[in-house]
Amino acid sequence: MKQVRFYKHKKILVLGLAKSGVSAAALLHKLGAFVTVNDSKPLSENPEAQSLLEQGIKVVCGGHPVELMEDGFELVVKNPGIPYQNPMIMKAVEKQIPIITEVELAYQISEAPFIGITGTNGKTTTTTLIFEMLKGGGRNPLIAGNIGTVASSVAQEASKDDNIVIELSSFQLMGISSFRPKIAIITNLYSAHLDYHGTLEEYHQAKARITENQQEDDYFICNADQEGIMEIARGSKAKIIPFSTKKPLENGVFVEDRWIFFNQEKIISLDDIALPGEHNLENILSAVGAARLAGADKEAIIHVLKTFTGVRHRLQFVDEVSGRKFYNDSKATNILATQKALSAFNAPVILLAGGLDRGNSFDELIPSLEGVKGIVTFGQTAQKIEDAGKQAGIKTIIRVDNVEKAVPEAFNLSDAGDVILLSPACASWDQYKTFEVRGDMFIKAVHKLK
């Protein structure tokens, strides 16, 4: 860990706890800052805040009092999920107090280079693939961010010989200032999180920040099949490494004659890849590029691609019961992710879908429902998904209270040889704390069938 003196004796507010806030507060305290933590959860119900209090950190719990911003803070470290419309954040902006997220702290103290992965879909799979490829090649990877340990905790333990592989959301990237990954990836860009960002343009601008501090000796791996991403690439100072699932490239990562190439080097045949789904090809190509650039052996990359079958909650094969194959795709929190999941299967599908209502319709889903023989809905969006199913001509549609009840209903609708797919097309927060909890409930219900 670098010995950073910048924060010594500075008054800093950590707004919102969760794992990243706890780690950031403890780190800043260690660096000599005067830290105040503010969290909406009452102290009596907040073991994280109690732990920080015991370390000598000032804690204000039970709400977000705007008057707290009059305490002379020089920096705010914001939980990524807190929107910029929050009154505390608006007051900080008004007072011209810098606002960062915890990933910026991690970068500032880290001796290890970062490989940063962002995009609308595929971040988790790509991050995991790179980690496994580097691990198999003896390149000392550490995994951080949304699917690993909090970045600032990982960075404290990392050495210059390590590689920190980190999944990054648009929310996190909005709070960077100097963060500069050695290798940056944007897997793809579609419409998402507009309730947070307001417009598609602002969402894309947030994603583009992953490369804004890169220099000529860094690498930016980008989707050559999307003009919006290539426009971002044209503004980057990094060396551009394009990837394409649709056309051969002079350099970069591409598919030709059902083989993956990296800079004209033949890597692996598509027929030898274990991970299902055409949509995963983008993830595989970007991971191959990053792993190769970071020094992974070709043999290690091939081994991972021949054996890796997916990450938990992302088109994860759960079990086969009486000839029905169950897949957990709880991380499909938007329509596009569900479209891609449905395209992965040739067999008839019973789709389990529903969740938080963000105000959108599901008309875009209709063309992808062609191979679906039945739908089981739940959550706030149940009616909207049912309407889409009826427009697609699906005759068997059942509504249940939750995912746990959806599994036996789907089983009863299905026949041997069918796929039963949880791919909700919605966030989980109307019924479940996280998509992981929702996926775990699905897995538990599948195992009950046996």
- Annotated binding-site residue numbers for ATP: 119-125
* 18 phi/psi in degrees, rounded to 5: 55, -170
CB burial class (10 A; 0-12, 13-18, 19+) of residue 237?
A: middle
Q: Among 94, 127, 99, 93, which Cα is nearest to 15's?
A: 99
Do strands 99-100 and 114-118 pair parallel, antiparallel, or not at all (unpaired)? unpaired
What is the rounded CA–CA span in Å between residue 222 and residue 220? 6
**Contact present, 193 and 218 (Cβ < 8 Å):** no
Indicate the annotated binding residues. Answer: 119-125
Q: Which residue has the tokens 């803070």?
A: 73
What is the rounded CA–CA span in Å between residue 398 and residue 352? 10
What is the rounded CA–CA span in Å between residue 155 and residue 169? 18
H helices present in 140-277, as ranges: 151-157, 170-173, 194-197, 200-208, 227-234
- The number of residues making up the chain comes to 450
Angle at alpha carbon of residue 106, lines to 439 and 68, rounded to 5°:
90
Quote the strand ranges of 196-274, DSSP E: 219-223, 239-244, 253-256, 259-262, 265-269
* 349 phi/psi in degrees, rounded to 5: -120, 135
What do you get for the CA distance between the two ends of the chain, in Å? 49
**Contact present, 207 and 187 (Cβ < 8 Å):** no
What is the rounded CA–CA span in Å between residue 40 and residue 297? 47
